[in-house]
Every structure is written in C-alpha cells, then in structure tokens.
C-alpha cells in the first residue's frame, strides 16, 4: 500500500512534521496578508474560537435531535445575522460551511420557486461580471443559464440599465454584490431591488464580505448604500462569518426573506432504508465546531466589538488609499468597503506581488482579461490588524516600486503559447514546472497570470482544469 503508513507514529513527530511542512508559509496572524485573512489581532478571541471549536469539533450538525444545543446555536446565529441585515421576524436562514454553499442554496431556492410558480423555461440568473464565480458555479451545477451584465469600471458597479434590459420571462434571479470582491464596490442594490419588484423576480444580495463590515462602517459615518432586507425587492442575502464575522473558516449564513422561499433550499431523503436525511445545507455530516466558534465570536465581540474592529479597518483603509495615491498608483473601482484594488503605470502586478512577498507582504493578483476588458490589479482585503502595520507596508511598497521594472517575458510567453498550440496543455504545464508533487513557483506565476490575461476565458478555464488535475 504505497502512500499509506504501515504503522502509526508518535503524535509529537506528527505535529512536528505538520509544522515543518508549513514553515515559511504566510501566517494570517502576522497581519501581513491582504487576502484570505480577516485578522483581528486579538489573542483572546483567537483562543476563544479554538476552545469553542474544540467543544463541538466531533459533534455533527447532521443530527439536531441528538444535539439540541446545535439547533439552538444555529437559531441564535441566524437570528443575530438576520437582525444585522435588517430582517424582520419572517427572515429565516441556514448555517453553511461557506459563501459558496450559501450562494448555492439561494440559487437553488430561486430556481425551485421559479419552477413551482409554473414557469417551464430554462431559468436565468443575471450576473454582474464582478459577481463572485460561486454564482456561475451554482448556475452550472443547478442548470440555470447565466446572463452576464456589464460593469462600469470607474465605479466598479453593475450597470443597472443593462440588468433591466436583460430581465426576461425566464429570469429567476438577479444578483448584486455588497461589496464585490475584486474592487470592494457596492452595487446599486436599491435600483436592482426596484427592477426585481417591477419584474417580480428574486434578488440575491451577496454580502459574504460586507455583511459584518458595511453596517458598522455606516454607523461610523461612512456613506454606505442600502443593501439589506430594508429594500423590499431583496429576497435572499449571503453573509460569511468566516470573513468579517471573525469566526473560523467554514462558516456562513444564507438568509431568506421568508420561510416560503427558504423551504426550497431544504432537502429531504427518506427513500432508503437508513436514517431520514434532513438537510438544510448542501453538506450533510459536518463538524458543529465552526458553528460554535461563530456563536462565540458574535457573543464575544457584540455590536461594540464589531464597531471597534470596523473603526480599525477604516483607519487602515484611509492610510492605504492615501499612501497608494501618493505613490502614483491608481485605485480601480470605488473602494466603498474594506477592499482596495490598485494598478499602476509600468507596474507588473504579478512581479510586484512577488517582490512584496519577499518582504513578507501578501497582495493578491487579479490578472485581468484582455477579452473581457478587465485591467490587471492587486487586491487588498483590509483587516483590523492592519491598522498598526500600514506604515511599514507602505514604506516597503515605496522601496519596492523604486526598483520595480516590468519583466521581459515576451519570448518566454511566446514559447509557452507555441507549446500549447503544437503539443497541448500537458507539455506546456511541464514547461511551466507544474506537475504532480511539485510546488508552483511564484516566478512561473508571472507567465501563468499573463496567459490568463491574454487568452480567451474558455481556454483559460480548460488549461487551469488540466493544471489542477495534474497537480493533486
Ligand atoms: C463577495 C464574495 N462572495 C462569495 C464568496 C465565496 O465565499 P467562500 O470562499 O466562503 O465560498 C467570496 C469569497 O471570497 C466573496 O468575496
């Protein structure tokens, strides 16, 4: 049994190996990450999450008859998030393991409600180009037709007239983001809500990022457009606890305006000889640990704690925006929340991210697309912990930019494109150093990101599928 250990090992050795494997990788707790991390810097919260997780880690959310406390935790967390989203008593919801799962449930509910209303066409989902790809994934998995709507790149918001023009008798769902991930801009949800009401279609607001930060930024005096259930046309909202809820990874809420709509997100399976399968989420057996940690985070921070955290994010964001502008960099979209995206003349975003990584800072590359007219940008998700690190970051960025020269990769790029055309993806991936068992070098990402930017998205997706299939 190659690859399967023949005898067990000492726990100390096992833990030592895990620590060794991950040595040198970015640590969220360092505060030097500007993506995938929502770090408060509060050690008490961190320890609380760990202990809350531990208490529930081996209990499953599958059986809330056996574990009534799990049902209680879910109810209380859903209630808290519903109230943050201005939901009245009718708003209900489900705890899920992430934004993607919440989105899947909302899309499924709208599809099934569309069918239940007697409509027989292929249901359509209107997606701003800035909507998270989880919606496209949901459309593909659940058999909806995606209808894309253009975005205004000055504001970073979807063109609402274009959305209106795309509504048809087959529209099941319109999507808006509060905010979107690429630019941190909040779509004009009020106008989308009016369109949804006029045309009697569902409207999902993706507040996976914004749910736990926008209400607090608004209370701090920032101008935040309306995006919650206060707007009558909003029928579902996704809110991630594992983002600005500061809980552990694997925690999100799908909210529905009414139980009538939420009903369509629930699945029952009783036509087998086993236990009655009762699912309010896509996953079935799952640890209740992340739910317990979410409940703990909400009760530890409370309104005052979240407001304080949002204050730190806001201070950091203001310094970052001023700093980037000072360095002659250009902000893309309207940074209305806690995300900033930037680009610059003579800046190669991948190289700049590699250079900053050498100084310990992690910026996220958004390669852009020539075909879809998206500029390449660097993404920064701002966390409370950044408040005290921004000066050091900006100083390193300034020094890095002084030395920064866009790389001469034209020849190498041409070579890879030649290989793709003559010998196929597999050989091209080998040439890029992407193969099973190997780590992907940051330098090879210079070429990969440029290929992503230059090639048509359907080819990019095919090539990336091949790459992942090769890697794991
Ligand atoms: C706006 C938005 N929606 C949805 C998602 C998907 O969330 P998850 O990665 O938890 O599935 C993300 C993740 O970054 C996001 O930023």
d(CA 432, CA 443): 9
Residues 170 and 256 in one domain: yes
Task: Tell me the percentage of the chain whose pLDDT exceeds 90.
Answer: 87
Residues 215 and 358 in one domain: no
> Which of 253, 272, 297 is the endpoint of a domain?
297
Whether 1 is in a domain gets the answer no
Examine the pLDDT at 200 and tell me if it is beyond 80.
yes
CA of 180 to the centre of ligand 1 (A): 9
Residues 84 and 158 in one domain: yes
Residues 268 and 331 in one domain: no
Average pLDDT over residues 412-437: 85
Whether 38 is in a domain gets the answer no
Encode pLDDT of 86-143 as tens digits: 999 999 999 999 999 999 999 999 999 999 999 999 999 999 999 999 999 999 999 9
Report which DSSP code applies to 176: E
422-431: Cβ within 8 A, 24+ apart: 425/462, 425/463, 425/466, 425/467, 426/466, 426/470, 428/463, 429/463, 429/466, 429/467, 429/470
For ligand 1, mutation pick of 34, 36, 100 (most atoms within 8 Å of CB): 100
Position 309 scores a pLDDT of 98
Mean pLDDT of the chain: 96
Encode pLDDT of 217-261 as tens digits: 999 999 999 999 999 999 999 999 999 999 999 999 999 999 999
Residue 436: pLDDT band with limits 50, 70, 90: confident
Average pLDDT over residues 365-383: 96
Where helices occur in 126-188 by DSSP H, the ranges are 134-142, 160-166
Q: How many residues comprise the chain?
A: 472
Position 426 scores a pLDDT of 82
Whether 172 is in a domain gets the answer yes
CATH number at residue 343: 3.90.1150.10
Q: Is 208 in the pocket of ligand 1 (CB under 6 A)?
A: yes
> Which of 370, 403, 436 is the endpoint of a domain?
403
Position 287 scores a pLDDT of 98
Examine the pLDDT at 435 and tell me if it is beyond 90.
no
Residues 151 and 101 in one domain: yes
Examine the pLDDT at 31 and tell me if it is beyond 90.
yes
Q: Is 134 in the pocket of ligand 1 (CB under 6 A)?
A: yes
Strands 377-381 and 364-366: antiparallel
Position 140 scores a pLDDT of 98
> Angle 436-438-443 (CA atoms, 0-180°, nearest 5)?
125
CATH number at residue 267: 3.40.640.10
HEC states along 367-387?
CCECCCCECCEEEEECCHHHH
Residues 76 and 173 in one domain: yes
Q: Is 379 in the pocket of ligand 1 (CB under 6 A)?
A: no
Q: Is 124 in the pocket of ligand 1 (CB under 6 A)?
A: no
Whether 41 is in a domain gets the answer no
Nearest CA to ligand 1 atom 7: 99
Whether 442 is in a domain gets the answer yes
Whether 25 is in a domain gets the answer no
Position 76 scores a pLDDT of 98
Q: Is 243 in the pocket of ligand 1 (CB under 6 A)?
A: no
Examine the pLDDT at 203 and tell me if it is beyond 90.
yes
Residue 442: pLDDT band with limits 50, 70, 90: confident
CA of 106 to the centre of ligand 1 (A): 14
Examine the pLDDT at 294 and tell me if it is beyond 90.
yes
- The range of the structural domain enclosing residue 368 comes to 303-403
Sign of CA dihedral 300, 304, 305, 306: positive
CA of 257 to the centre of ligand 1 (A): 21
Whether 13 is in a domain gets the answer no
Whether 27 is in a domain gets the answer no
Position 251 scores a pLDDT of 98
d(CA 393, CA 386): 9
CA of 382 to the centre of ligand 1 (A): 15
Examine the pLDDT at 443 and tell me if it is beyond 80.
no
Query: What is the total count of domains within the chain?
Result: 3
Position 421 scores a pLDDT of 85
Residues 325 and 465 in one domain: no
Element (H, E) at 151: strand 151-152
Residues 214 and 163 in one domain: yes
Residues 90 and 221 in one domain: yes
Residues 259 and 314 in one domain: no
Position 215 scores a pLDDT of 98
Element (H, E) at 173: strand 171-177
Q: Is 98 in the pocket of ligand 1 (CB under 6 A)?
A: yes
Residues 309 and 372 in one domain: yes
Whether omega for the bond prior to residue 169 falls within 30 degrees of 0, making it cis, is no
Residue 437: pLDDT band with limits 50, 70, 90: confident
> Which of 249, 265, 297 is the endpoint of a domain?
297
Residues 307 and 184 in one domain: no
Position 153 scores a pLDDT of 83
């Amino acid at each position: 049994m190659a690859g399967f250990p023949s005898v067990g090992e000492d726990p100390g050795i096992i833990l030592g190996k895990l620590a060794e494997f991950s040595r040198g990788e970015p640590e969220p707790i360092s505060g030097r990450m500007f993506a995938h991390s929502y770090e408060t810097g509060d050690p008490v919260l961190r320890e609380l999450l760990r202990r809350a997780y531990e208490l529930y880690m081996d209990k499953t959310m599958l059986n809330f008859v056996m574990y009534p406390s799990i049902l209680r935790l879910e109810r209380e967390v859903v209630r808290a998030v519903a109230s943050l989203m201005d939901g009245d008593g009718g708003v209900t919801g489900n705890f899920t393991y992430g934004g993607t799962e919440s989105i899947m449930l909302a899309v499924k509910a709208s599809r099934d409600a569309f069918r239940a209303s007697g409509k027989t066409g292929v249901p359509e989902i209107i997606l701003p180009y800035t909507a998270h790809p989880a919606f496209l994934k949901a459309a593909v998995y659940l058999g909806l037709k995606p209808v894309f709507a253009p975005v205004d790149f000055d504001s970073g918001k979807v063109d609402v007239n274009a959305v209106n023009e795309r509504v048809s008798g087959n529209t099941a769902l319109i999507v808006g983001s509060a905010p979107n991930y690429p630019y941190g801009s909040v779509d004009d949800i009020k106008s989308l809500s009016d369109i949804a009401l006029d045309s009697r279609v569902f409207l999902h607001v993706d507040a996976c990022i914004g749910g736990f930060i926008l209400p607090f930024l608004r209370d701090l005096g920032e101008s935040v457009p309306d995006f919650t259930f206060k707007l009558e046309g909003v029928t579902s909202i996704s809110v991630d606890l594992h983002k600005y809820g500061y809980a552990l990874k694997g925690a999100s809420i799908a909210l529905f305006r009414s139980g009538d709509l939420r009903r369509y997100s629930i699945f029952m399976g009783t036509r087998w000889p086993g236990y009655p399968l009762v699912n309010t989420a896509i996953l079935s057996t799952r640890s209740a640990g992340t739910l317990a940690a979410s409940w703990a985070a909400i009760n530890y921070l409370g309104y005052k704690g979240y407001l304080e955290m949002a204050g730190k994010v806001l201070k950091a964001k203001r310094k970052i925006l001023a700093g980037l502008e000072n360095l002659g960099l250009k902000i893309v979209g309207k940074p209305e929340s806690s995300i900033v995206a930037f680009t610059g003349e003579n800046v190669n975003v991948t190289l700049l991210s590699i250079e900053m990584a050498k100084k310990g800072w992690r910026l996220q590359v958004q390669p852009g697309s020539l075909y879809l007219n998206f500029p390449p940008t660097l993404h920064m998700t701002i966390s409370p912990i950044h408040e005290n690190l921004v000066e050091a970051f900006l100083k390193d960025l300034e020094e890095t930019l002084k030395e920064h020269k866009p790389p001469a990769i034209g020849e190498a790029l041409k070579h890879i494109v030649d290989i793709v055309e003559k010998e196929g993806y597999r050989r091209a991936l080998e040439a890029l150093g992407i193969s099973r068992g190997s780590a992907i070098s940051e330098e090879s990402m210079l070429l990969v990101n440029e290929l992503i930017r230059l090639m048509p998205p359907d080819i990019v997706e095919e090539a990336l599928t091949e790459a992942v299939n090769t890697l794991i």
